[in-house]
Structure 1
């Protein structure tokens, strides 16, 4: 995939002036060695150990010169609270604080570092300066444990770097009678994300200007190879290739100073009749390349997809939390085979925007729902098939109507159960989904679109949302039995 940020993390040791500096330095070297053994190269070791503000500036210059875009402030001993937090302030990138555990009971005089204590002072000073830093669940450990913590920080850092260099390009207002995905864009700017909102008429003009583009046959050939036997609508590929080139050229010409792009596209009500197709398959192809394209001008959906792509380093999709699993289907295909109740299950669906690599099989078809009121030939362009079974994370970052950030994360799986339906669709199972649906999705007014990452990435997503400023009581999750939601009736 392209359009993906890459993190380069520096580890910077700090030392309080009344503690031995060589203790912090030797412990830093041990962390770097452990990281290299477990995860390979990728952790830059800053040679400057910070004891005062002058050292801080030297270390800052060094990590910037090395091209690092994220830092780990490593307390090898108690640490100097002012210089270490000033480094985080002046670095202006994602930062982590981690500390050294004591190694042996045989060296607790000159070899005692007290970094366990130092983390408390560091956290207090971060709050005084209104600074954000990632602290692991238990931020003190051996060299090997600290190496693991830094590896867990990597996707979080990558997401923060990506957001600060992201532009979301949207086309057209949300469709009529479709206010669910409409949300204030103020929070995008607070996150450091740029937004370029365009008329779909501008997009239509650009599409028409790509008629006869000499690159179209090459794109069609690539589509044919991807679809294989699923190429059931070959007559529509030329239009889809024309649209794909339109989007790619628009992205290149409009990304401006930003490195990364996500797109929130229009797909109805006039798209089909004017463009002569639906954009679903093209959306799936760009998303597969690492350029998320949301449906129905869902700006926060595109933002969520981008975050998931960066965190998982894999393709994601955007689905409707769509329909219940019928009782007879649950009885025949799920009950007794999987440890879920019927209310734990639902179908995640969208018309055809899920990448071919995330479908068990795929066919190019037409948009069945739209074709109920339009000629079938203008609704062609969906990529249909059952979503691959396996672990998933259903999640979304959203702005409320009064411009507050909130998010949800729910881990579960796609079951290996035939859907017997149309579109890009899967049978999803999330523990306690029924309660989560009522007391998070409905109660908190989330739209029906949710992003899907293929794997369990709740831990990293939670840390990303926390880092970017979502209050922890607004990061919702599927609570287990016995853990009540605030709005749940205790007598139900």
Structure 2
């Protein structure tokens, strides 16, 4: 994957001056050894922080080592002032964790009291308005702390990605798709930049890429990727020209940012002037870590990128689209597991899902656009989708969205993509989300979320939830289990 950060994690031990410094040092070494056993790469800072002068030394050591994410480890009670200053002055994401006592024998002369120290550390961080990651239970043995550090890696990667992100948008949202956009102020609040461009700008960079030196290589890649599922070989040079144009624009316009994603207008005028549908190119860029959200969905692009960083795997953006017919449910009882018909829906989009995330796929034409733009004709300008069944497996639905009054809210919901033939068109699959019917009504509808959902191929709700907490997003919804009532849900006794 390109276009996502590489996490270089450091661990610094802290020690309150009335406790043995050696206790923090030996415990830090034990954590680092446990990380090595779990194949978690972490750089041990040799400075142990007891006072502010040590903070200065540790920061210099971290900078020299190229560390961009930091674990502050309370090997004993820890000095809450200096450790908070360390978190404040360090530029990247930071986590507080602490040592559990090892054995009864150590409680008389080598007790660390880090359980108590975390309380003071958290209080001091709050005084400084610091967004510090504190695990669900932050005190543990070396092996347990190593697992917490491993869980922190995708959280760090996502935060670092957002800190360096720019979203390139092309065109206004399509008519009647007002839901696909939202005020951009909240992006700046997150530290995300945006560069808005017109559809004419997009056409200009595409036309300027005619004869681009990379077109033959991209066509060859597409041919190899599609294999026999390529009924339109004549279309590939146009798609390759578009891909080359977007990649050149991406590289040339990063500016002060490090990573970039797109939110592009893809219909209805696009097809007339470009002569194709851009979906397959969007899918290929998503495969490389550069999501291209459809319909100028800026917050959809943001959500896809967060998923990409959290999973180190391509994301996609799908419509929460249609119900699953009852006869299809009954015909697929063997793969339903504990899901009922009320837990199911079909996720669909024209053909923007990365090839590696598809069970089967073929270069096709967009059926709905074809009926509007080329009725009764052989498909021409509506060709360019990548269609088929999306791979079954674990899935997380996710979206971070700004409200009209620029407040951030989000949802996460875990479930499965079921191995059910959707018997329809587009990039599509049957999704099972526990209690989906209630989640749909009392979160998606009630809180006025748009129809696009970011799709993570795996269960990563925990990581995304932790990222949202670090970002200060307090309005986070998830699919409530059956026994838990939504605040706006009619009590069952009234039904």
Query: TM class, shorter-chain normalised?
Result: over 0.9
Establish whether residue 387 from structure 1 lines up as the match of residue 386 from structure 2: no
CA distance in 2, matches of 1:115, 1:475: 31
Map of 2:64 onto structure 1: 65
Matched ranges for 1:441-460 at <5 A: 441-460=444-463
Matched, 1:399 2:406: no
Deviation, 1:50, is: 0.4
Count of residues in Structure 1 that have an aligned counterpart in Structure 2:
489
Paired residue secondary structure (2:117):
helix
Q: Distance in 2 between matches of 1:182 and 1:47?
A: 48
- Give CA-to-partner distance per residue, 1:229-265, whole Å, 9 cap, x none: 1101222111111111110011011111211111111
SS at match of 1:450: strand
C-alpha separation in 1, matches of 2:215 and 2:10? 44
Partner SS state of residue 477, structure 2: strand
* Residue 421 of structure 1 pairs with residue 424 of structure 2: yes
Specify the SS of the correspondent of 1:397. Answer: strand
The CA distance in 1 between the partners of 2:218 and 2:69, in whole Å, is 38
The answer (yes or no) to whether the contact 2:336–2:418 under 8 Å persists in 1 is no
1:187-202 counterparts in 2 under 5 A? Answer: 187-202=186-201
1:371 aligns with 2:374: no
Deviation at 1:214, TM superposition (A): 3.3
How is 1:151-230 mapped onto 2 (pairs within 5 angstroms)?
A: 151-230=150-229
Partners of 1:317 and 1:353 within 8 A in 2? yes
Equivalent position of 1:278 in the other structure? 277
Q: In the alignment, which residue of structure 2 is the partner of 1:311?
A: 310
- For structure 1, the 5+ residue unaligned runs are none
2:335 and 2:93 map into 1 onto residues whose CA distance is: 46
The runs of at least 4 aligned residues of structure 1 exceeding 4 Å deviation read none
Cα deviation code 1:78-133 (max 9, x no counterpart): 00000000000011210000000000011102210000000000111111110011
Contact 2:399 2:412 in 1 (8 A): yes
CA distance in 2, matches of 1:192, 1:281: 30
Aligned counterparts of 2:245 and 2:425: Cα–Cα separation in 1: 28
Once the two structures are superposed, residues 160-207 of structure 1 have per-residue CA deviations (whole angstroms, 9 ceiling, x without a partner) of: 111101111110111111101110111111111111000110110111
Deviations for 1:6-48, whole angstroms, at most 9, x for unmatched residues? 11111110011111111111101110011111125x2010000
Q: Alpha-carbon deviation of 1:56?
A: 0.9
- Distance in 1, Cα, partners of 2:244 & 2:278: 12
Q: Distance in 1 between matches of 2:98 and 2:213?
A: 58
Matches within 5 A, 1:98-137: 98-137=97-136
CA distance in 2, matches of 1:304, 1:74: 31
Where in structure 2 are the equivalents of 1:475-486 lying within 5 Å?
A: 475-486=476-487
Does structure 2 conserve the Cα–Cα contact (< 8 Å) formed by 1:335 and 1:341?
A: no
- TM-superposed CA distance for 1:212, in Å, is 2.5
Distance 1:33 1:16 in 2: 23
SS in structure 2 of the partner of residue 321 of structure 1: strand
Give me the TM-score of the superposition, normalised by structure 2: 0.98
CA distance in 1, matches of 2:489, 2:250: 45
Which whole-Å deviations, capped at 9, do the CAs of 1:279-330 have from their partners, x for residues lacking one?
Answer: 1000000000111111001111111111111110111111000000011111
What is the match of residue 411 of structure 1?
Answer: 414
Instruction: Quote the Cα distance in structure 1 between the aligned partners of 2:236 and 2:318.
Output: 24
1:1-40 matched pairs, under 5 angstroms:
1-40=1-40
Q: Would the aligned equivalents of 1:94 and 1:133 in 2 still touch at CA under 8 Å?
A: yes
Paired residue for 1:81? 80
Structure 1 counterpart SS, 2:121 = helix
The SS at the match of 1:220 is: helix
Match of residue 242 from structure 2: 243
Q: If the length of structure 1 is used for normalisation, what is the TM-score?
A: 0.98
Q: Give 3-state SS (helix, strand or coil) of 2:84's partner.
A: helix
Per-residue CA distance 1:331-371 (angstroms, 9 max, x = gap): 11137842111110000000000011111111101010111
> 1:405-432 deviations in whole A, cap 9, x for unaligned?
1110000001011000000000000000
Task: State the secondary structure of the residue aligned to 1:12.
Answer: strand
What is the RMSD of the two structures over their aligned residues, measured on CA atoms? 1.0
2:490 aligns to what?
489
In structure 2, C-alpha distance between the alignment counterparts of 1:358 and 1:240, rounded to whole Å: 20
1:218-367 correspondence to structure 2 within 5 Å: 218-334=217-333, 337-367=336-366
CA distance in 1 between counterparts of 2:183 and 2:129 reads 25
Cα distance in structure 1, aligned partners of 2:100 and 2:355: 47
Task: Please name the residue that 2:441 is paired with.
Answer: 438
Q: Which runs of 5+ in 2 are unaligned?
A: none
* Cα gap change, 1:336 to 1:380, in 2 (>3 Å): closer
Question: Do the aligned residues in 2 keep the contact of 1:155 with 1:311 (CA within 8 Å)?
Answer: yes
In the TM superposition, residue 462 of structure 1 has moved relative to its aligned partner by 0.4
CA distance in 1: counterparts of 2:335 and 2:359, whole angstroms:
24
Matched, 1:466 2:465: no
